[in-house]
Amino acid sequence: MIKHIKLNQDNLAFAIEVQNEIFPYEDATKEYTDMVNGQSDANFFLVYNGDDCIGVSGLKHYGIDVEDGFLGWFGILPKYRRLGLGSEALRLLDETARDLGFRRMRVIFNTEKGFEGAKTFLKVNGYTAEPYQCPKDRISLSGNYAILSRSLYNEPIEPWNNRNLHLTEANR
């Protein structure tokens, strides 16, 4: 049975270890710490299968848009992959996203650096891709970005349509 536990002061250091193992080249310490200290309204979780911690997951949103939830730091530890647990964790996060009022889930995907298996994983889980190139978002103009989207209510998906995500150097 999959469950997730929101990050707090007690599990923060452990969550950073898990995140660093899944994403060896990217560090979520600042985002995690900001959330735990109440300086951001993102939601980050440790994911458990029974007593075993199997990964991390999270939800963010951009600006005043509260209908589009973005996956943030979602991953399964290597030894637990290809067992269907990532798909289960994604469905659990969908429930949380609906509870928080989101209507759609989105993922920013770097087509140059992103883990190719992740794109397949998202497509198998119902996400559709569109390129992201916003004239006002300089980093997106590299052409290396896609937005993958899925409705949380079985509605036809509204494309993101290149609305400005203000990508930062951290998204590179």
Ligand X SMILES: CC(C)(COP(=O)(O)OP(=O)(O)OC[C@H]1O[C@@H](n2cnc3c(N)ncnc32)[C@H](O)[C@@H]1OP(=O)(O)O)[C@@H](O)C(=O)NCCC(=O)NCCS
Antiparallel, parallel or unpaired: β 104-110 and 68-71: parallel
Question: Under the criterion CB under 6 A, does residue 145 sit at the interface with ligand X?
Answer: no
30 vs 26, 36, 106, 123, 145, CA distance in Å? 11, 10, 22, 29, 23
SS3 78: helix
Q: How many helices (H) and strands (E) does the chain have?
A: 4, 8
Question: Could you tell me the smallest distance in angstroms from the CB atom of residue 132 to ligand X?
Answer: 15
By CB under 6 A, name the one of 18, 28, 36, 85 that touches ligand X. Answer: 85
Question: Could you tell me the smallest distance in angstroms from the CB atom of residue 60 to ligand X?
Answer: 13
* Contact range with ligand X by CB under 6 A, out of 2-10, 67-75, 95-103, 136-144: 67-75
Identify which of residues 64 and 89 has a Cβ nearer to ligand X in the complex: 89
Tokens found for residue 119: 């794109």
Q: Binding residues for ligand X, per CB under 6 A?
A: 22, 71, 74-76, 81-87, 107, 115, 117-118, 120-122, 124
